[in-house]
A and B are shown apart, each in its own frame.
Chain A
């Protein structure tokens, strides 16, 4: 009879690396990117004088920082406004789209009615609705949140339908053979199995959320970074417009980073998360 171990894998888990080791390996992996990034800004900084570019066309990165510092209170306030629109819209989109995606995946009726409707709306650039919503609902927070929801909703709902509708034949049969209740099978198998594909939608929506908020502010607003960028561009102040663009980028990164962190915490077992470790 066969005894002992069969494979080279050992049962003991390796110890988690320390903070210092992790920092060092991060620098070792990212130095190329960091160098490129620094090189880009250095090139920008010195080419303004080198090519004699007028300041009202393009300022130096250092000038953007110094000049915008004077307008810091307004920039902070507007970042908060745009951030609120983005995050409110994003969260509402997730909360509505995931259960709807689940319902569509499991209902033949909804799959024949709402689903093709959604697919065709997905072909429409959602931003095209922005002027209408502003005209219906005015200059306040609500139309911006609705436009963010519109932009985020479809990628989340379409990926959720895919996620809940693509459990393997084997797992589906396994569930049926156990006689499990719908709820028990959902919590223990269907929901966790759907998470990776749902996160594809969450991430795509996170990238687009700030786009929705910014364009909505371009169209009709008296607050927010989109409004600020438009006004400062009109005032021939590209330095301040760039400050707004940097803050929008930071906002987008923050949202995307939060979603990625949630993904790591919720599905550490998924191949896309494990590969990054």
Chain B
């Protein structure tokens, strides 16, 4: 079960004086333990900025962020993070890259043999453990990156457009795997994306973020049965959600 994430009137300004840019906020959001929440918005709307502040990797200008009840004032080590550009290193194999997460944390990879094998199996990478990232397709690399981000069993998982660079078909496949992974262990997931369909399919709630400065414009509860497969996605309810979100962005001149 995951940790709670509370965001209270957080703002972020970049630069100083005349160059000051209001990037985000004030934004408030309360994420319950085990929830899957998407931050949905166009590029440059501050959604990644918010995610980095939750991870403690970026200082906020004002406001308060608490993860698991504790204020975030340094990089949090109890989260799993994944970016659009993955953090696989080319000199290690798939397995070695998963172990890198453990080694950097001072954990013993030998204690995690079974965990690593299960994770690799759950993303359908069996047989590729000893391959290097450059021998894999973009989709397979992101699958390996999921294993790297999750191996230490984080209660909170922060995903910054992890499927952003993949083709539509591969995205579809990996989304299904991501859904299964989340349904199995129920960590708290904060998922940054610019795909409306992706957000509706995966999330329990979608935060619609509008740009300049980034604001949480609306929070939508997505009440659809799981697993949300192709059948659910072709239902009128699913379409109604995507239409509603499109209308919000359209009103802001984003699409």
Contact A170 B86 (CB under 8 A): yes
Residue numbers in B under 8 Å from A185 (CB-CB)? 104
Are A174 and B81 touching (Cβ within 8 A)? yes
Interface bits B184-213 vs A (CB < 8 Å: 1, else 0): 000000000000000000000000000000
Chain B CB within 8 A of A231 CB: no
Q: Which of A132-181 contact B (CB under 8 A)?
A: 168, 170-171, 173-181
List the B residue with the shortest CB-CB distance to A176. B75
**How far is A108 from B170 in the complex, measured between Cα atoms in Å?**
44
- On whether A188 and B86 interact (CB within 8 A), knowing A6-B139, A11-B131, A179-B77, the answer reads no
Chain B residues numbered 53-106 whose CB sits less than 8 Å from any CB in chain A: 55, 57, 75-77, 79, 81, 83, 85-87, 89-91, 100-101, 103-106
Contacts of A178 in B (CB 8 A): 77, 101, 104-105
- Give A1-38 interface residues, CB cut-off 8 Å to B: 1-7, 9, 11, 13
CA distance A233 to B22 in the complex (A): 72
Q: For chain A residues 253-277, which have a beta carbon within 8 Å of chain B?
A: 267, 269-271, 274
Asked whether any CB of chain A lies closer than 8 Å to the CB of B134, the reply is yes
Contact B57 A176 (CB under 8 A): yes
The CA-CA distance from A177 to B139 in the complex, in Å, is: 24
Distance A180 CA – B52 CA, assembled complex (angstroms): 18
**A236 CB–B CB distance under 8 Å:** no
Query: Which chain B positions have C-beta within 8 A of A174?
Result: 81, 87
Once the chains are docked, how many angstroms separate the CA of A268 from the CA of B21? 44
Interface range for A: 20 to 34
Residue of B90, B105, B170 near A6 (CB, 8 A) is B170
Does chain A have a CB within 8 A of B180?
Answer: yes
Chain A neighbourhood of B173, CB < 8 A: 2, 6
Interface membership of B127, Cβ < 8 A: yes
B-side interface size class? 35 or more
User: Complex Cα distance A193/B52, Å?
Assistant: 23
A9 touching B135 by the CB < 8 A rule? Answer: yes
Cβ B136 vs Cβ A177 within 8 A: no
Which among B87, B131, B176 has the greatest number of chain A C-beta atoms within 10 A? B87
The one of A171, A184, A271 in contact with B87, judged by C-beta atoms closer than 8 angstroms, is A171
Nearest residue, chain B, Cβ from A7: B137
> Which residues does chain B contribute within 8 Å of A11, judged by CB atoms?
126-128, 131
A267 contacts which chain B residues (CB < 8 A)?
91
Contact status A177-B91, CB under 8 Å: no
Q: Which residues of A contact B140 (CB under 8 A)?
A: 6-7, 9
Q: Verify if B177 is at the interface (C-beta below 8 Å from A).
A: yes
Interface string of B130-152 (1 = CB under 8 A from A): 11101111011000000000000
Rounded to whole Å, the gap between the CB of B35 and the closest CB of chain A is 21
B124 CB within 8 Å of chain A:
yes
Q: A7-B139, A267-B91 are in contact. Are A173 and B105 (CB under 8 A)?
A: no
Knowing A9-B136, A179-B75, say if A184 contacts B104 (CB, 8 Å): yes
Among candidates B104, B126, B128, B177, residue contacting A2 with C-beta atoms closer than 8 Å = B177
B85 touches A170 (CB 8 A): yes
Q: A2-B173, A6-B170, A177-B76 are in contact. Are A269 and B52 (CB under 8 A)?
A: no
Among A13, A177, A181, A189, the residue within 8 A (CB) of B57 is A177
Q: Which residues of A contact B (CB under 8 A)?
A: 1-7, 9, 11, 13, 168, 170-171, 173-181, 184-185, 188-189, 192-193, 267, 269-271, 274
Report, nearest first, the 5 A-B pairs whose CB atoms are least far apart.
Answer: A11-B127, A179-B77, A180-B104, A178-B104, A174-B87
List 9 interface pairs A-B (beta carbons < 8 Å), by A numbering: A4-B124, A6-B137, A7-B140, A173-B55, A180-B104, A184-B104, A188-B103, A269-B90, A271-B134
